[in-house]
Structure 1
Amino acid sequence: MRIILFFCFTLSYPLGYAKDKNICLLDDLLKNTTEYKNYLLSDEENTIELEKNELSLLPDIFINSSQNSNNDRSFRSVENSGLSIGFSQGIYSGGAYKKNKNRINLNNNLNNLLLSETKNKMLLDVFSDALELEHRIDKKALYKKQLERQTYDIRRIEAGINSGSVAKIDLDIANIRIRRLNDQINALGFEIDNLSEKLYFKYRIPKTEIRRVNYSSVRDCKTGNYKDKLKNKFNLRSDIARASNEILEATSLPSVNFAISFTPPETGNINKITTKRADFGASINVSIPVSQYFLRNTYQKQFAIDVARLKLEYDNSLEENENETRSIERRIKSLENSIETTKKSIVVERNKINYIFSRIKEGQDNIISYYQQLDTYEALQINLKEEEKELEFQKVLLYFIS
């Protein structure tokens, strides 16, 4: 029972809490997943970006050595070269530092939001897988119970053969049924092992902790309102697009740099270096990026397109959510009706089994009819378990997206 749905979760609370008061008991397990570790790496990347932005405020240091040559004079030795040492400090660059910092912080907020989105997707996935595992375990237990009953039937049939009241073919049919039940039990054992390994590989949940994944624990890990969080995600992405556009626009504004330099006295050559005296020079440089200035209108057009695309995505997500909610509500109603019918059918089929068994005792029916009826009854029991598990999942899913 694997339900695959397309939806988007956008929750912005820390991983350690669920709702406003309930503690998420699954957090310590989910923190071992690859998805959470990737979030930590992204968080570190944002920290590095902030550090790089801070370091961009440091001045540039320059060292310049040069010689001139003409028709009357050639290049001379290194000590006759001119020397200039100094530094240049940016004074104004269109507010690039502040705008970069704002964009990085917005990216960090979005990263936290995406972590919550990933967490909710993982919660639903792990719950679906855990229900699938639980269904396999219940199914195996049901087959074992059938095997016990079948073993009892074998002894009864053998006694009937010895007394001459039962044909040997009945024993052959019963033995085949035992073999089939053993095969099903063994196959389910392999499936249970595979699903347990899958839960550990994907979510790092050991076998001993799988029981912690249940209806209540998954519900307690949900935070916030879906539509509110979806709107926050749209606003954040729009703000990031705006911040990126402002950074581009900053490149079209004039930049101002202050520079100060030191040269040896007199000629400024290396051979005149002394610790007692030096010539100083200072300058203010203004750079006007003419080509970038004419691109400002282009940047604005691209920004408008980006925001319009984000709005389309947001509106589409809202519409999908409404359609998905209605679909799940209909599915829940259908499952509830089907479960009620299946339970009534199980009662009827059990009565049929008793009726056929009584006819066999009277010699009016045969064991083939009995086993056919038994198969129908057992199939209904398995189907009931499947429907109950799916109903449980659909209710959790509705809780998450509504």
Structure 2
Amino acid sequence: MHFDYSETTRDNIRHLTAFMEEHLYPLEAEYRQFTQDHPWQIFPQMEDLKAKARSAGLWNLFLPEDYGELSPGLTNLEYAPLAELMGRVLWASEVFNCNAPDTGNMEVLARYGTTGQKRDWLLPLLDGQIRSAFLMTEPAVASSDATNIETSIERDGDEYVVNGRKWWSTGAMHPECKMYIVMGKTDPEAPRHLQQSMILVPADTPGVKVERPLRAFGTLDSPHGHAEISLTDVRVPVGNLILGEGRGFEIAQGRLGPGRIHHCMRLIGTAQRSLELMGKRAGERRAFERELSKFSSIRQEVARSRCEIEQARLLTLSAADRIDRHGIKEAKDLIAMIKIVCPTMACTVIDRAIQVHGGLGVSSDLPLAEFYVYARSIRLADGPDEVHMYQLGRNTINGMKLG
């Protein structure tokens, strides 16, 4: 791959950077305080910020498909540095309609949805009218192996009946969440990876119940949140099934590949900003009669962090380029690598930054604590480290045998 960004990408980087400096960074403290004090309420300035982003052409930047004014159709490689910039402010992605899990759900509908599904759900999502959630993980089984999923999707005439319980359903607590993509089993007797299907479930369907919001490291992550949801005899039309029975794993691979690129680049953004905060703090703070920046141990931590961030960035850009040129299947090993490397790297760098800041580092006066919660959570989301290492190790050994 070419490691120089195109002129279009450089323009987008400048444009997005300027927008965030003018509109987002000044509101960080206010946003943090509002979401803590007003759970499940939308930040009062959010809609105005989204309107400004859309007017500025910074809207749906994540979607490779060109949807005219609704999406510029950037490649994964072109979007990657923009996702990194958004990662510097955790709630920035929503301003640009690039927040998970909506991005993954929109990619599913754009790639696999019928004309009716796109009309009813994709276009409102692209337009920012509604939000959505992705219901895959379950509390009763080890969902790192998705073949364990027990939620049933049974056909009954012109309807499917859904029964099960899901949790860590990110986005489900958002006041504008109107639709879920649910993964469950349509045929428990089929081959292992052909048992599962995905289906669209409107959030207000009878039998859907949000049992409770879940706290991650004691935080609600308002207004999106993470919910535990029960589905009891939930009936939806047959036309709500995506792609066909037994295609759930196929869809999941198409959905999670680009999503992991997005997560990893956002994590690189959080790590990069943490490094910058660490360097600033080291230059300003004095201990034992000299600046922290004069201590060799601090310089080593900064140096290690810079190396690790750049290594993760280049690996992630390589994965994005491989997806663009050869597809998700050919990029699977690189995607596994970044999912192993980036969250752990971010946790490490953020932890160093917290340590250099002392008590300020764990306070809500800086974003470092919420950065750490995000990075540590992503070591589990979209597949835990162990699953990716298991699969990457297997593929690597098998490749060596063939060689």
TM interval, short-chain normalised: under 0.3
Report the TM-score when normalising by structure 1: 0.25
Q: Larger Rg: 1 or 2?
A: 1
Report the TM-score when normalising by structure 2: 0.25
Greater strand share, structure number: 2
Q: Which has the higher contact order (CA 8 A, sep 6+)?
A: 1
